[in-house]
Copies of this chain bind each other. A is one copy, B any other.
């Protein structure tokens, strides 16, 4: 059942309306969740993610970022443009060089939490495979 009994019962038809309502109430406003999904979206591209991870150690110029992330300088520039647009990174310009750094504490924290877990679990288990279809 949904929330109360356990077998066959139209969802939202029985005594579960209570809990469903509770769940709905505990959900953050849609705009907030959407913003959050956006942040996760920035973190979801392998190239961009490598760039951000590299920046955890400190400021780097575009060419170095490209080398560190293993992508072309053009792709790097495009990626940085997106991160810049969302204020995830900040630029410092010096002559013809541009130095990027992480500028978003939220993202930094998510990265650190995620990376700690990676080290802990990488060799323990974790399958990217399939559930069981």
A binding-site residues for B, Cβ under 8 Å: 1-3, 6-12, 16, 20, 22-24, 26-28, 30, 32-41, 43-46, 49-50, 53-54, 57, 60-64, 67-68, 70, 81, 84-87, 94-97, 106, 109-110, 113-115, 117-119, 121-122, 126-133
Could you tell me the distance between the alpha carbons of A16 and B128 in the complex, rounded to whole angstroms?
37
User: Would you give the shortest CB distance from A115 to chain B, in whole angstroms?
Assistant: 7
Q: Which residue of B37, B46, B113, B115 contacts A34 across the interface (Cβ within 8 Å)?
A: B46
Interface centre among A9, A84, A114, A131 (most CB of B within 10 A): A131
The A interface is mostly helix, strand or loop, or mixed, namely helix
Which B residues are in CB contact (< 8 Å) with A37? 43-46, 49
Let me know if B67 and A20 touch, CB within 8 A.
yes
Contact of A39 among B12, B34, B68, B114 (CB under 8 A): B114
A21, chain B: closest CB distance, angstroms: 10
Given A20-B68, A87-B127, A33 and B53 contact (CB-CB distance below 8 Å): yes
